[in-house]
């Protein structure tokens, strides 16, 4: 996990509609960048839906919410449509941004060891600096916790 006070790594990734987004385009805005494992899994769906339900509160604070996973653009589009998501989902199937943000790690699941995304949330300030980092994210509680962090 990257430390607070660190410059957030640049990225250029496609969203669920195929539009490329860069960190630079968000200069002057706060960005909540959250990394999750996989579209349409139980925890990731709870987390995304909780952000959708609270989106007006995030926007009122001037915060752009962006989710990132290794899923494809097409998978993100299906995820967005199935659950009525109202924020940007970025596709990183090559893991370049996941690695840059130090969230692509060795994980153990069901006795097997493999590489995967460690659920992590970052808040990046208007100048592109990480001002909050949470590597111990509970999916269902993340949106609510982040609202309190942003107070």
Active site (annotated) includes residue 44 = yes
Q: Which residue in the list 8, 44, 50, 103 is annotated as catalytic?
A: 44
Order of strands across the sheet that contains 120-124: 20-22, 12-15, 88-91, 63-69, 30-35, 120-124, 130-134
Q: What is the SS3 assignment for 55?
A: helix
Residue 91 and residue 55: Cα distance in Å, rounded?
A: 20
Please give the positions annotated as active site. Answer: 44
């Amino acid at each position: 996990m990257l430390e607070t006070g660190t410059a957030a790594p640049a990225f250029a990734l496609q969203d669920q509609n195929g539009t490329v987004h860069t960190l630079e385009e968000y200069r002057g805005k706060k960005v909540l960048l959250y990394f999750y494992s996989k579209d349409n899994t139980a925890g990731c769906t709870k987390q995304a839906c909780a952000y959708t339900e609270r989106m007006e509160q995030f926007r009122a604070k001037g915060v752009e919410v962006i989710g990132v996973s290794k899923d494809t653009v097409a998978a993100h589009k299906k995820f967005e449509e199935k659950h009525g998501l109202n924020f940007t989902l970025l596709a990183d199937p090559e893991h370049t941004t996941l690695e840059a943000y130090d969230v692509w790690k060795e994980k153990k699941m069901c006795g097997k060891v493999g590489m995967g995304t460690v659920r992590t949330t970052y808040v990046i300030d208007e100048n592109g600096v990480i001002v909050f980092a949470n590597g111990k994210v509970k999916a269902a509680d993340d949106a609510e916790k982040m609202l309190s962090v942003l107070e």
